[in-house]
Amino acid sequence: MAILVEYSASMVEQQEQALRWVEQKENVRQEFSFGGPALNVLCTRTLKDERPLPNRMVESFLNRFFPLGYPHSVSEGYLTYSQFRALQHFSSAMLSVFSTQSLLYAAGLRPTPAQATVVSWVLKDGMQHAGKIACSMWGARMDAEPKRWRLLADALYDLGTALEVVSPLCPHLFLEVAGIANLAKGMATVAARATRLPIYSGFAKEGNLSDLYAKGEAISTLFNVLGLGVGIRLASTVCSTMHGKLVAAPLLSAVHLFSIAQEMRAAPLNTLNSQRTACIIAEFVKTGNVPTPAEIRYKERLALPVTLNVEAGSVVVGVSIRRAFGKPSVLKTSKAKIHEERFLLSFHDRQTHMVLHRNASGEDVVKGWLLSAYVARIAGGKSKPMVQSSGVQKMEAMEEAYELTDKSFPILISGLREAGWHTDLFLEGGGERAVW
């Protein structure tokens, strides 16, 4: 609620006229005043909104589809996220009309486009349940990489849709094609729903997660309805034939996947995982600056495989002790070098393995990663810090690297907190932990 208060200019004027003020809630402006001989009667009058119609329409749209206090109540990138989210749902809804109509043709029915949208609610059940159960086992990985899993979810959904669209070409395999399509869609549904709140939480600057969720779902619903309407229209005209669907479906799928990719790139996540932590450490070691979630978001890989960050020490986190240390003597040496930390480091020629204690926090991981980066730089030589060095050289550089880490770590942690990062947890995506 925005409250505008207008008082009289002086005490003399207050005695001559009633005390007045104006309050505004959403699109309604009301004038309040205390009148009467003793100024004890509350009077209310609704003011006429004299703003131009386009301005009122824009504000009404923002009130219904954007969080209260927008844009100050959300993180950077929310508008871009919402724009591509709308385009994503619009194209997805159109695809669903084509796929459902094609399924019914393959089954020997001849539905109208309107019937296709109704029956879609029945066809989605079957094999979808099996897909949902199968996908649920990867929940921890979705916490660590919600953007990548969200993109994968839409790719699976489009795969299922593509199978449904081409199903009339092989009507004798209708049950098999429809089953695989719904299996893919079931997996996509779980992945999309599981990653929704972690992504929304990155935008919630003022604890307004529920408001963000509600307004985001409103945008999705609006453009789903619009997409269904346009899809029905196209399915009745230019896309009524299989040839038309085979032309339109790939184009809509491309728009759909492009939109979700841009949507995910716009989302700033403030939790620590392997990819984001490596980017933070590399930037800090190189420049001394701590990047914000908004600065890191465009550096994350969404579709391509995530490679080791050489500038951050080529760290692999969440490794088991058995894999990290081949011999008991190596484990003993590492424990002697590590100063009572809740992590262990095993240095190899091309990468560094980090073993986490069961009680290790996000700050412990950051410290271990920072130590590994300094070790790599010192062992590689200051003139060529990115040169790959041997595990023995890295172990010999531990003492000097520890001195640098002890000096830099408090600065790094303070910078992370000021930038809005959550340092209490580290999301390793199902990596192993140990007790020693």
For 62-104, the pLDDT digits (tens) are: 777 887 778 887 888 888 888 898 898 888 888 888 887 787 7
Q: 242 lies in a domain?
A: yes
pLDDT at 38: 61
Q: Do 354 and 214 share a domain, yes or no?
A: no
Whole-number CA gyration radius for the chain: 29
Which of these three, 209, 241, 266, is where a domain ends?
266
Residue corresponding to tokens 């001394």: 288
Q: 189-200, pLDDT tens digit by residue?
A: 999 988 988 898
| Predicted local distance difference test score (pLDDT) of residue 285 | 93
Instruction: Looking at the structure, tell me whether residues 234 and 353 fall in a common domain.
Output: no
Cα–Cα distance measured from residue 240 to residue 236, given in angstroms and rounded to the nearest whole number: 5
Instruction: Sort strands 352-357 and 315-317 into parallel, antiparallel or unpaired.
Output: parallel
Residues 6 or more apart in contact with residue 195 via CB below 8 angstroms:
142, 146, 147, 149, 150, 153
Task: Give me the pLDDT at residue 297, please.
Answer: 92
Asked if residue 111 and residue 210 are part of one domain, the reply reads yes
Residues, the chain, total?
436
pLDDT for 44 equals: 77
Strands 343-347 and 433-434 come out as unpaired
**Between residues 316 and 8, the one the model is more confident about:** 316
The range of the structural domain enclosing residue 85 comes to 78-266
Q: Are residues 155 and 285 in the same domain?
A: no
State the chain's mean pLDDT as an integer.
Answer: 82
Answer yes or no: is pLDDT of 402 > 60: yes
| pTM of the predicted structure, to 2 decimals | 0.74
Least confident range from 24-28, 219-223, 238-242, 391-395: namely: 24-28
Please tell me what DSSP assigns to residue 204: B
Return d(Cα 147, Cα 19) in angstroms, integer.
54
**Does one domain contain both 134 and 147?**
yes
Q: What are the tokens at 235?
A: 């399915």
The per-residue pLDDT for 3 is 40
| Domain co-membership, 280 together with 252 | no
pLDDT tops 80 at residue 47:
no
- Would residue 348 count as lying in a domain? yes
- CA 31, 37, 39, 42 dihedral sign is negative
Number of structural domains found in the chain = 3
